[in-house]
Amino acid sequence: MRIVVLDGYCLNPGDLSWQALKGLGELTIYDRTPGDLILERASGAEAILTNKTPLSRETLAALPDLRYIGVLATGYNVIDVGAAREKGIVVTNVPTYGTDSVAQLTIALLLELCHHLGAHGEAVRAGEWTANRDWSFWKTPQVELAGKTFGCIGYGRIGAQTARIAEALGMRVLIHSRSEGIPLDEILEQSDVVSLHCPLFPETRGMIGASQLQRMKPSAFLLNTSRGPLVVEQDLADALNAGTIAGAGVDVLSVEPPTEGSPLFSARNCIVTPHIAWATREARGRLMEIAAGNVAAFAAGVPENVVN
């Protein structure tokens, strides 16, 4: 079986091994594949692995040998799964690899909003503590989480794990999901922290915009480590700059890499990290192991983690 990895660099910049996949067939790995080279590189492949390189209906129609697509991530919106189904191409994803890592970074963003450790550490290095008249100083308000309310929007594996950590910090957890919990408006109005853990569907795109932000407490924080387009970024920037809410921490944006001048880059008290919640070595190692297992299961005629 000829296997082509179209964009393997983010998963494995050199600290992991591709050996498990090499044992399954003739393997070719590309760090990145621009759109105009997808067909050339994928031609003749029976199995393609992709993370963010898109495979459209037109592309799939031009790949007659293709029988399997493995997405090196949980989200699979880069694949036209309907067209793949019509052509009998199996599409799989990796659904469980990053639960602990994403939950961890979500709480890290929250703690940074509470304490701004980076800014205080830089202030010390710049001599501000040495020059200070008092034995202690702080440049931003310091926030204690115990007793506050954590609103978890979306309650899959990552949302549930993040909620458990919030509870361990002494927070009261409220849940909103498609199958359980309280209405979204009540979550927004009651929560001191609102954390998004939803998949991106047409009905969730832009679910947090100006009207939803207006319902939040002026002291509240918004966290998004799920999907960038869940939030209307200009509305969030406007809300932050106007003091409608107190702060935001986001690891995802609507366009990645972002365009220059994203409104969140200059928004007040907004922490933006470059989609790194999934990227611990431990999580990437699990992703590699599961992705190779998906290919092996397909080759054995018993595909796993099929999404189409």
Using CA atoms, how far apart are residues 288 and 218, in angstroms rounded to an integer? Answer: 42
β-bridge partners, 231: 208
Q: What would the two tokens of residue 86 be?
A: 């019509």
> For the chain, how big is the Rg over CA atoms in Å?
22
β-bridge partners, 306: 92
Are 46 and 65 within 8 A, CB to CB? yes
Using CA atoms, how far apart are residues 236 and 228, in angstroms rounded to an integer? Answer: 12
Each residue of 167-203: b (16+ CB within 10 Å) or e? eebebebbbbbeeebeebeebbebbbbbbbbbebeee
Residue 61 DSSP code: H
Catalytic residues: 227, 256, 275
How does strand 270-272 pair with strand 90-92?
A: unpaired
**Which distant-in-sequence residues (6+ apart) come within 8 Å of 67 by Cβ?**
46, 47, 88, 89, 90, 298
Using CA atoms, how far apart are residues 230 and 176, in angstroms rounded to an integer? Answer: 15
